[in-house]
Amino acid sequence: MRAVVLYESMFGNTRDVATAISQGLGVEVDVEVVEVSQAPSSVDSNVDLLVVGGPTHAFGMSRDSTRTSATEKTDEELVSLGAGLREWLAAAWMPPSTAVAAFDTRVAKPRVPGSAAAAAHRRLRRLGARPVAPAESFYVEDMTGPLIVGELDRARRWGEQLAAEITPAPA
């Protein structure tokens, strides 16, 4: 079994969640973690599960304008410098019924409606993919992080659950 975890991240939090998800998945399946601007727009037919994630910006997936705004929040170089998850999904192709799941990171307080994962999940469905889990959010304390304590463990467990969805149950 082969899984790909594709992520977009400004300050590193979503990248860290992607890594934790891959650790959970990796117990059962071969897994590759790819930054979104490095990912080909076609998903190989030998990918058994595609997991996509990004930061929630302005109640949904990032755009050029929100990514520019993110550069103004830090003196550090951003993790994702190219196009984001929204642009990748707009151009993506994958075999029909590819197993998929979507996650995001969001601020814990105040918790506002809108989620990049929910938007990505909808787009994946329109692409003909087959979600194996509801869209999932992982929470940061503040705009640039850090992640709330326990979220990386939750991400690892979520990865394990996703792996269980695509691996046949023992006889």
User: DSSP labels for 37-48?
Assistant: GGS-SBPPTT-S
Q: Does 10 participate in binding ligand FMN (rule CB under 6 A)?
A: yes
Residues 30-69 that bind ligand FMN (CB under 6 A): 55-59, 66, 69
Q: Does 74 bind ligand FMN (CB under 6 A)?
A: no
Helix, strand, coil shares of the chain, percent, nearest 5, are: 35, 25, 40
Closest distance of CB 59 from ligand FMN, Å: 4
- Alpha-carbon span 139 to 148, nearest angstrom: 6
Whether the ω angle into residue 146 lies within 30 degrees of 0, i.e. cis, is yes
In the complex, least distance from residue 151 CB atom to ligand FMN, rounded to whole angstroms: 11
Considering only CA atoms, which of 67, 124, 136, 56 is closest in space to residue 94? 124
Beta bridge partner(s), residue 89:
none
Q: CB of 156: closest distance to ligand FMN in angstroms?
A: 17
Q: How far apart are CA 11 and CA 67, in angstroms?
A: 11
Binding-site size for ligand FMN (CB under 6 A) equals 23
Site residues for ligand FMN, 97-136, by CB under 6 A, read 105-107, 112, 114
Given the complex with ligand FMN, which of 26 and 55 has the nearer CB atom? Answer: 55
Q: Which of 5, 6, 13, 120 binds ligand FMN (CB under 6 A)?
A: 13
* Residue at 99: amino acid letter: A
Q: Residues in the site for ligand FMN, rule: CB under 6 A? A: 9-14, 55-59, 66, 69-70, 73, 105-107, 112, 114, 140, 143, 145
